[in-house]
C-alpha cells in the first residue's frame, strides 16, 4: 500500500489525520470539491465532485487504496444527501473497481444506528436504525461495500465513526469519541490487514461508557491508545452547559434523532 486516496480532504476530520497518513504511506492523494491550500510534501491534490463519474475516475488513477471521508457530513435535504452521499458513494466505488483499486475504507457513522437507545449495547450484527437521511446514506454505503466485496473482490472496511477529536466534548461523546490516532489505526487495518474481506467496525477509542461491542475491530488487531475517561471532568462540565433534549438524550444519535421527530417513543 503505497498510494492512498483521501476524499473529503478539506474537511475537519481529514485535517486531523493527514499528518499521520503522510507518515504511513509514500503518497496521499487529496480530493475534495474545495481546494486544499496546505498541500504538503508527499501529498497531491485532485479536485472532484463525487456526483461526477468522470471526476471519480480521475481521482482513482494510480491509487492502491481509498479512505472515503467525502460527502455531505451533516443532516440535509434529500437532493443534497442523494447527490453527495448516495450517488457519489456509488460513483466512487465503481470508479475504484474500474481502476483496479483493491481496498476501500468507508467512513460510515454512528448515525446509521442512531435510533438505538443509550441503554442498549449493540454490535455490528444489529440491523441499521438510521436517525435521518444522513444516517440512511451511511447505511447505504455499508451495503454498497458489502456488494463490492462479495461481487467484485474489493476488500472493504466500514467504520461507524462516533466523534473525532482531541478529547470528548460532552457526556454523549464519552461513549462514542475516537482520537485521530486511533482512527488512523483503524484505517490502516482496513487498508493493510491481509485477511480482511468486508467488515463493519465502530470508530471509538477505549471508552468505558461505550454503547458498542467492538469485538470485530479488536479481533483484527485494533488496540486503541486513548481513553475517554481521561477527559471525564471536562466532558461533564461541558455537558452541564447544554439544554436537555427530551428525545435526543434517549438515543445514541443524539440531536439527529430529535430533528423533525414525530414518532412514538413508547414503540422505540
* Domain regions of the chain by residue span: 3-267
* Phi, psi angles (nearest 5°) of residue 155: -95, 125
Residue 47 to residue 192: CA distance in whole angstroms: 26
Q: pLDDT band for 22, please (50, 70, 90 cuts).
A: very high
Nearest partner of 5 among 83, 81, 106, judged by Cα: 106
The pLDDT of residue 37 is above 90: no
**Would you say 14 and 161 are in contact if contact means Cβ atoms under 8 Å apart?**
no
* 149 DSSP β-pair partners: none
Distance CA 38, CA 234 (A): 32
H-state helical runs in 87-231: 88-99, 133-152, 171-176, 180-192, 215-219
Q: Is 65 helix (H, G, I), strand (E, B) or coil?
A: strand
Question: Residue 35 and residue 187: Cα distance in Å, rounded?
Answer: 23
Cβ pair 110, 246 in contact under 8 A? no
Residue 263 reports pLDDT greater than 90: yes
**Res. 1 pLDDT band, cuts 50 70 90:** confident
CA torsion angle 112 148 69 226 (round to 10):
70
Residues 181 and 223: beta-carbon distance below 8 Å = no
Just list the catalytic residues: 134
**pLDDT for residue 224:** 98
- Give the model's pLDDT for residue 54: 98
Express as a percent the part of the chain with pLDDT over 70.
100
Q: For 196-245, how does the pLDDT look when each residue is reduced to its tens digit (9 = 90+)?
A: 999 999 999 999 999 999 999 999 999 999 999 999 999 999 999 999 99
**What is the pLDDT at residue 146?**
98
When the candidates are 3.40.50.720, 3.30.930.10, 3.40.630.40, 3.40.50.2300, the CATH number that belongs to 3-267 is: 3.40.50.720
Residues present in the chain in total: 268
Contacts of 230 (CB under 8 A, 6+ apart): none
Give the pLDDT confidence of 121-164 residue by residue, as tens digits. Answer: 999 999 999 999 999 999 999 999 999 999 999 999 999 999 99
What whole-number distance in Å separates Cα of residue 36 and Cα of residue 164?
A: 20
Question: 3-class DSSP state for residue 198?
Answer: strand
Place of cell 496546505: 38
| Average pLDDT of the residues of the chain | 97
Amino acid at each position: 500500500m503505497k498510494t492512498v486516496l483521501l476524499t473529503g480532504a478539506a474537511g475537519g476530520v481529514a485535517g486531523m489525520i493527514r499528518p499521520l497518513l503522510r507518515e504511513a504511506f509514500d503518497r496521499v492523494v487529496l480530493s475534495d470539491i474545495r481546494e486544499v491550500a496546505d498541500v504538503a510534501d508527499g501529498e497531491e491534490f485532485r479536485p472532484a465532485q463525487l456526483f461526477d463519474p468522470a471526476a471519480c475516475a480521475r481521482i482513482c488513477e494510480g491509487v492502491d487504496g481509498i479512505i472515503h471521508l467525502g460527502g455531505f457530513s451533516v443532516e440535509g435535504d434529500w437532493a443534497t444527501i442523494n447527490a453527495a452521499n448516495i450517488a457519489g458513494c456509488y460513483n466512487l466505488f465503481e470508479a475504484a473497481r474500474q481502476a483496479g483499486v483493491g481496498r476501500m475504507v468507508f467512513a460510515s457513522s454512528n448515525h446509521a444506528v442512531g435510533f438505538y437507545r443509550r441503554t442498549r449495547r449493540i454490535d455490528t450484527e444489529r440491523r441499521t436504525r438510521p436517525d435521518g437521511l444522513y444516517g440512511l446514506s451511511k447505511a447505504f454505503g455499508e451495503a454498497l461495500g458489502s456488494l463490492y466485496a462479495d461481487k467484485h473482490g474489493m476488500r472493504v472496511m466500514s467504520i461507524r465513526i462516533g466523534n473525532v477529536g482531541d478529547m470528548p466534548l460532552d457526556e454523549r461523546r464519552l461513549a462514542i469519541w475516537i482520537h485521530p490516532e486511533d482512527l488512523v489505526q483503524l484505517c490502516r487495518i482496513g487498508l493493510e490487514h491481509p485477511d480482511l474481506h468486508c467488515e463493519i467496525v465502530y470508530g471509538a477509542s477505549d471508552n468505558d461508557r461505550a454503547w458498542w461491542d467492538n469485538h470485530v475491530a479488536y479481533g483484527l488487531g485494533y488496540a486503541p491508545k486513548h481513553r475517554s475517561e481521561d477527559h471525564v471532568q471536562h466532558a461533564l462540565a461541558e455537558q452541564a452547559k447544554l439544554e436537555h433534549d427530551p428525545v435526543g438524550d434517549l438515543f445514541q444519535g443524539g440531536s439527529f434523532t430529535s430533528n423533525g421527530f414525530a414518532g412514538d417513543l413508547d414503540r422505540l
